[in-house]
């Protein structure tokens, strides 16, 4: 499918705010890809489509992931499931066949252990794109995102952990696994055992 057609379809599938966010992620992902020598077209495409399922109901998201492996924690949460649903729809609705792009969409919400640079870029661009509502630390994170992908990931994952912990919510095990790569002592796992109620 041509890029323009994808944009046209997306515009209809998303609300205005989400579409603006999407274009911001696309642009930021391209910029970061240039900076770190990652394929810019793949980054742009993954950025454009990363939230393509975001405005669907939970039931429709679950329909979209039929036959694709997702855990129960994801199945029950729109904010988690839209990434897997988006991955499936990028393939089935938007005709994307590039696995790197599909995987970057799949992991943009939770992250996971052993992320590719393309996946890191989409994960981070989603958090720092220009239309994001400012939050404490966003400017430092924006700077890091153009300097060091792994330091930026570490900081972003810690912020996500703080956010989840402050709301008394459950951190997805894949996020914890991503974070533990940067925290080799395993201290975090112990510290947040109570938060991560679904770990076992
Ligand atoms: Fe998203
Ligand atoms: Fe997003």
CATH number for 85: 1.10.3210.10
State the distance from the centre of ligand 2 to the C-alpha of 188, rounded, in angstroms. Answer: 26
**What are the average pLDDT values for consecutive 10-residue runs of the chain, which has 200 residues?**
97 98 98 98 98 98 98 95 98 98 98 98 98 95 98 96 87 93 70 44
Residue 196 located in a structural domain:
no
State the distance from the centre of ligand 2 to the C-alpha of 101, rounded, in angstroms. Answer: 15
What span, in angstroms and rounded, lies between the C-alpha atoms of 47 and 125? Answer: 8
Q: What is the pLDDT of residue 193?
A: 53
Q: What is the pLDDT of residue 183?
A: 87
Residue 199 located in a structural domain:
no
Total domains in the fold of the chain: 1
Q: What is the pLDDT of residue 186?
A: 59
Domain span at 45: 3-191
Residue 200 located in a structural domain:
no
Q: What is the pLDDT of residue 170?
A: 78
Residue 105 located in a structural domain:
yes
CB-based neighbours (< 5 A) of ligand 2, an ion: 51, 126
Q: What is the pLDDT of residue 153?
A: 98
Counting ligands in written order, which one lies closest to the CA of residue 86?
1
Residue 70 located in a structural domain:
yes
Counting ligands in written order, which one lies closest to the CA of residue 18?
2
Residue 84 located in a structural domain:
yes
Closest CA to 106 of 121, 88, 133, 130: 88
Q: What is the pLDDT of residue 79?
A: 94
Q: What is the pLDDT of residue 197?
A: 37
């Amino acid at each position: 499918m041509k890029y323009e057609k994808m944009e046209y379809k997306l515009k209809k599938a998303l609300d205005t705010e989400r579409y603006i966010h999407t274009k911001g992620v696309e642009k930021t992902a391209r910029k970061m890809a240039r900076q770190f020598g990652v394929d810019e077209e793949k980054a742009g495409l993954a950025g454009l489509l990363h939230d393509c399922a975001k405005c669907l109901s939970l039931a429709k998201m679950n329909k979209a992931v039929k036959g694709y492996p997702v855990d129960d924690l994801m199945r029950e949460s729109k904010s988690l499931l839209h990434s897997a649903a988006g991955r499936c729809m990028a393939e089935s609705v938007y005709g994307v066949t590039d696995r790197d792009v599909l995987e970057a969409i799949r992991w943009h919400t939770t992250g996971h252990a052993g992320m590719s640079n393309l996946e890191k870029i989409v994960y981070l661009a989603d958090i720092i794109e220009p239309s994001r509502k400012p939050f404490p630390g966003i400017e430092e994170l924006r700077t890091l995102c153009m300097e060091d992908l792994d330091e930026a990931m570490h900081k972003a994952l810690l912020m996500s952990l703080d956010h989840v912990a402050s709301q008394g919510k459950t951190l997805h095990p894949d996020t914890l696994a991503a974070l533990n790569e940067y925290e080799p002592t395993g201290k975090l796992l112990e510290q947040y055992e109570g938060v991560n109620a679904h770990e076992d």
